[in-house]
């Protein structure tokens, strides 16, 4: 377990984190500090706790919006996958139908050729 110091709203906090997560935790703390400073700029000095809570709530609001957008995109991806699967199935069915039609046509041509060969072969000899 690692420990780092972060500054939020002018106060230092000693935080524990997993090894390798120090930079991420510092960036998160910087983001929260920027939110606090932004709110302080908009509303002035309204109390440290209130500024921190408001900054946390704005972060939660953005997270909720991002989560909703992610769910929407996941649903869209699933719909696209289903559409792709259906299109692939239709393409296979079309390919099979065309192949069967071509095979049937080839068989009819072959039978017609055999009939013509018998007719010509059994008819008048040329020569």
Which of 7-11, 13-17, 79-83, 121-125 is predicted with the least confidence, judged by mean pLDDT? 121-125
Residues 5 and 25 sit within 8 Å (Cβ to Cβ): no
Write a three-state SS string for 79-114.
HHHHHHHHHHHHHHHHHHHHHHHHHHHHHHHHHHHH
Per-residue pLDDT reduced to its tens digit, 78-88: 999 999 999 99
Q: How far apart are CA 3 and CA 22, in angstroms?
A: 8
User: What's the confidence (pLDDT) of residue 78?
Assistant: 98
Better-scored residue on pLDDT, 123 or 57:
57
Q: How far apart are CA 99 and CA 20, in angstroms?
A: 59
Please, where are the H alpha helices in the chain?
A: 22-43, 48-122
Per-residue pLDDT reduced to its tens digit, 26-42: 999 999 999 999 999 99
Per-residue pLDDT reduced to its tens digit, 48-69: 889 999 999 999 999 999 999 9
User: What's the confidence (pLDDT) of residue 120?
Assistant: 80
């Amino acid at each position: 377990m690692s420990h780092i110091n972060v500054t939020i709203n002018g106060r230092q906090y000693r935080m524990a984190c997993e090894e390798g997560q120090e930079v991420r935790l510092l960036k998160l703390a910087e983001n929260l500090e920027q939110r606090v400073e932004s709110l302080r700029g908009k509303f002035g000095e309204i109390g440290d706790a209130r500024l921190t809570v408001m900054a946390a709530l704005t972060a939660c609001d953005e997270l909720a919006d991002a989560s909703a957008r992610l769910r929407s995109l996941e649903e869209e991806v699933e719909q696209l996958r289903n559409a792709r699967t259906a299109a692939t199935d239709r393409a296979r069915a079309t390919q099979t139908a065309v192949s069967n039609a071509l095979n049937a046509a080839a068989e009819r041509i072959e039978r017609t050729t055999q009939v013509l060969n018998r007719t010509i072969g059994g008819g008048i000899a040329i020569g």
